[in-house]
């Protein structure tokens, strides 16, 4: 019925996709690393900020979710993981949310920036069509 109405009006119809090109997982992860490096450079130190969060209906303060956190067992070390929207990227391996593997480095802005820059360069060389590697 609706189609006949448009014919009677003498108009032409067309459908076009309105979706924009989405970035590949590789592009999104490289972009996430780049943003994290810029954030680290702007900071005086690597202390995690406390942010308010609703937990079971009550507001509580938690550490912000960054690529790094301080090791509990080795006070001068950082535990590092690459993340995308808060989820850990396993660098080709399955990630156990409750026991993720971390990269262990010295607690220093320079060390962290160097690690992330080197990781980014390495990830750029990996084929983005490698579905076994690029999974989150």
Per-residue model confidence as pLDDT tens digits over 56-85: 999 999 999 999 999 999 989 999 999 999
Question: How many folded domains does the chain comprise?
Answer: 1
- 111 within domain boundaries: yes
Q: Which carries the bigger pLDDT value, residue 104 or residue 97?
A: 104
Q: Which of 67, 57, 72, 79 is nearest to 33 (CA)?
A: 67
- 100 within domain boundaries: yes
- 28 within domain boundaries: yes
Rounded to an integer, what distance in angstroms lies between the CA atom of residue 69 and that of residue 78? 6
Task: Give the global pTM.
Answer: 0.80
The residues, any chain, with a CB within 8 Å of residue 108's CB and separated by 6 or more, are: 46
- 131 within domain boundaries: no
- 2 within domain boundaries: no
The domain of 47 spans 23-124
- 9 within domain boundaries: no
Q: Which carries the bigger pLDDT value, residue 2 or residue 86?
A: 86
- Mean pLDDT throughout 110-117? 98
- 18 within domain boundaries: no
């Amino acid at each position: 019925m609706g189609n006949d109405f448009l014919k009677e009006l003498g108009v032409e119809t067309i459908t076009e996709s309105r979706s924009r090109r989405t970035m590949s997982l590789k592009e999104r992860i490289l972009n996430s690393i780049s943003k994290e490096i810029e954030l680290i450079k702007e900071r005086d130190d690597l202390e995690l900020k406390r942010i308010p969060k609703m937990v079971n209906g009550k507001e509580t303060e938690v550490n912000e979710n960054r690529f790094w956190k301080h090791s509990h067992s080795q006070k001068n070390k950082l535990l590092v993981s690459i993340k995308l929207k808060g989820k850990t990227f396993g660098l080709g391996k399955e990630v156990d949310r409750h026991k993720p593997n971390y990269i262990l480095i010295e607690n220093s802005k320079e060390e962290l920036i160097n690690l992330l820059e080197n990781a980014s360069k390495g990830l750029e060389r990996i084929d983005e069509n490698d579905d076994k590697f690029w999974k989150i």
